[in-house]
Structure 1
Amino acid sequence: MRRVFYHYLIPGLVFQSVVIGGGYATGRELVEFFLSNGPLGGLWGLLVTSAIWSIVLMLTFELARLTGSFDYRSFFKVLLGRFWFLYEIPFFLLAFLVLAVLGSASGNIFAENFGINELYGSIGLMAAIAVLAFQKSDVIEKVMASWAIVLYVAYGVLILWGAMIFQDRIVENFTAVSETGEWFEDGFKYATYNIAAIPAILFALGHLGSRREAFTAGFLGGPLAILPAFFLYVVMVGFYPQINGVAVPLKYILDVLDAPWFSIFFQIVIFGTFIETGTALIHMLNERIDHTLQEQQRTMPKSFRPAIAVVVTAAAVFVAAKVGIISLIAQGYGLLTYGFIAFYLVPVMTVGVRKIFRPATLQVHNSDHIDQ
């Protein structure tokens, strides 16, 4: 059982932990990319997203396994060659954007549940990310996988409870409102900007020992990551169309359920996912800096890791306060989608496939010994 967990489930669980905080924890992203196409259209869009994630995860996991590329820098040197740095342009912009959304949502959670100034919620997020980012990769991996299980329980309770209370409205909206023709396009867009999270979990792939394990773990990763979104989405359909204008749909639903104890528990779980997502992004940035310093025969001071977490997150929170969460999600994510299509999706579906199925074209790399 332990082997099944580490070799087949942990990669997908870690991916879910990274993608959920900036992907759909607040529910706002589900409105923008799915529910905006009608209840049924959004459901089809979720299936499109899950399928794309599974395909890209399978190819990425196997290419990383074959080449020993368990950090994004070495992976993209395999995939893009000397143009590997092009991936960093949209990624760092997305990381900043996601941290801004997380900071804004964290402040909102603390303000509405405990009557605390939003700034303190954002500061709490910064501190938690700094503490976790200070840990080693194996510790981060275990924390993410464990919290993913807690999150499944929370979302499972939410859909059971919500379906029992709002069953009639959910069924009525699924059957009465026709989908729009943009559900495939939006599902594709949502999948592509979120695949940027995949290179952030390469550190969790060291358990993979065969092509079968890599492909199976990747295939399972899509459904594992989309399942909590599906649970939340079904409940959200019961409040369509008025929920489309709500800044944080999840909080709106919890307020309607009128169970303060569950609301607090659920939002603590969500806050934990914010920490995980932020930590993965910061950890990726720290590893990037660390490897660059190693090439220069220098060592990255341990204090830099939490310091970078605080500085980057603080800057992102400042942007969120000035722009607003709805504008950030509606305008920012869509613009970055094209960068990930060009520098990740297309290369992994072409160059990546060729390298995987034509071993003669492969070059095995060690992340600590890769030429610039």
Structure 2
Amino acid sequence: MRNTKQILQVAATYIGTVVGAGFATGKEIVEFFISSGILGLLGILLTGICFIWIGTKIMTLAHRARFRSYEQFNHYLFGQRVGSLVNLLFLIILFGSTSVMISGTGSLFYEQMGIPAIWGTLLIVGLCFFVMLKGLKGILTVNSLVVPIMILFTLLMAFFTLSHGAILNRVQPSGLLVHSSWLMNAFIYISYNLTMSEVILVPLGGEMENEKIVKWGGFWGGLGLTVILLASFLVLYALPNVQQYNIPMAESVRSLGVFIHFLYVFVVFGEIFSTVIGNVFGLSRQIHDRLHFPEYLCVLMILFVCILISQIDFGILLPLFYRFFGGISLFIFIFIVFYPLSRLNIKK
């Protein structure tokens, strides 16, 4: 019973780490899958396989070597010199990623509820600081609460879309310009998300009691992400002029009524929040280990810098961020794919 609970916590935390601003709002699905038309489904299937396989592999490596942070993980994989460079890139990418999440929160509040973006920004920053005081335990708790609700909402929306037959009437969504390669989009998306998930997957794998929990947690987490991606694709593929929205998923929910719409907005906020706390957790550990500042001060510094960057418009920030850092992440991802577990020489 205890193992089952831990497996579900690992799975939920894995999902919550990946499902950030772009994923939860639907912006990522539009940018990387729907932009390829119906072929985007192939990209999602490839993404799902990699989420299950590579996500589990990262946690298994961390578990066997008892790594506490992604810095240790990268130093082990790449060596001290190259590993230090990779960790520097991680530092930059994590700052950028967290800023995207905070920017997404501002867009969510302004576009969906008419509340000035700054209030959404201040809310997520304040909650993040509070959860950081609880450490990894706080992150597990947040994801265990938010992720099941997110999955339920997404599946209900997919069922509603299919039951009305909207997607069956289209070979290509209305107002959508298909312009990109589904395979390249998928690999950029996979490499970025799996590389960045190291921030939580490594300490998570390193602190679990046995490898079975890690492997099953990785499997169910990867499968859950695949289901959410497929369901989100079905919902957004049927939405006319889907590319014009910063929060396309929330636009789909509007048809279910005001109450459901606002409830979903808060669910999206929770998913953005789950990724923000994961990123800040990883950043604070890295800065604390290097500068030896108190952890609360590291968190405050991180959040302040991210607030400044997040003032850039979310719709502009997300595509630019992914295209640039996705290429860098691809190199790290390929290395992880071909790294043999047997090289650890540690018994299960």
> Which deviates more, 133-142 or 264-273?
133-142
Query: What is aligned with 2:168?
Result: 171
What corresponds to 1:368 in structure 2? none
C-alpha separation in 2, matches of 1:71 and 1:335: 24
Structure 1 residue 21 displacement after superposition? 1.2
1:346 aligns with 2:334: yes
> Separation in 2 of the partners of 1:183 and 1:3?
38
**Structure 1 counterpart SS, 2:234:** helix
Identity %: 19
Deviation at 1:136, TM superposition (A): 2.0
Give 1:69's aligned residue: 67
1:1-372 to structure 2, matched below 5 A, reads: 1-6=1-6, 8-38=7-37, 40-82=38-80, 83-165=82-164, 167=165, 169-174=166-171, 182-201=181-200, 202-205=202-205, 206-210=207-211, 212-240=212-240, 242-255=241-254, 257-293=255-291, 300-318=293-311, 320=312, 324-342=313-331, 344-350=332-338, 352-353=339-340, 356-360=341-345
Q: Is the contact between residue 27 and residue 249 of structure 1 (CA under 8 Å) also seen in structure 2?
A: yes
What is the CA deviation profile of residues 202-256 of structure 1, one whole-angstrom value per residue up to 9, with x for unaligned ones? 222222513x54433333332222322222211111125x21232221122123x
Gaps of 5+ in 2: none
* 8 Å CA contact retained: 1:133, 1:305: no
Q: Could you tell me how far apart the structure 2 residues matched to 1:58 and 1:75 are?
A: 14
- TM value normalised by structure 2: 0.89
Look up the equivalent residue of 1:149 and give its one-letter code.
P
**Cα contact 2:94–2:196 (8 A) shared by 1:** no
> Where does residue 366 of structure 1 map in the other structure?
none
Q: Distance in 2 between matches of 1:254 and 1:176?
A: 17
Cα pair 2:3 2:213 within 8 Å, conserved: no
One-letter identity of the residue aligned with 1:325: F
Q: Mark the CA change 1:209 to 1:35 in structure 2 (over 3 Å): closer, same or farther.
A: same
Deviation at 1:46, TM superposition (A): 0.7
Give the conservation status (yes or no) of the 8 Å contact 1:73–1:288: yes
Q: Aligned to 2:24, what secondary structure does the other structure show? A: coil
Q: Could you tell me the TM-score, scaled by structure 1's length?
A: 0.84
Deviation of 1:170 after TM superposition, in Å, equals: 0.5
Distance in 2 between the 1:106 and 1:184 partners?
29
Superposed structure 1 runs of 4+ greater than 4 Å apart: 174-177
The whole-number CA distance in structure 1 between the counterparts of 2:286 and 2:258 is 42
Please tell me the residue identity of whatever aligns with 2:169.
E
CA drift at 1:64: 0.7
| Structure 2 Cα separation of the partners of residues 176 and 346 of structure 1 | 33
Q: Is the Cα–Cα contact under 8 Å of residues 21 and 105 in structure 2 kept in the other structure?
A: no
Alignment gaps of 5+ in structure 1: 364-372
Shift of 1:272: 1.1
Question: Judging changes above 3 Å, is the alpha-carbon distance between structure 1 residues 67 and 245 closer, same or farther for their aligned structure 2 residues?
Answer: same
Q: Give the C-alpha shift of residue 175 in structure 1.
A: 8.3
Alpha-carbon offset, residue 282 of structure 1: 0.7
Q: Distance in 2 between matches of 1:93 and 1:111?
A: 27
**Which stretch has the larger CA shift, 326-335 or 306-315?**
306-315
Give the Cα separation in 1 of the matches to 2:244 and 2:279: 29
In 1: Cα distance, 2:247 partner to 2:180 partner: 26
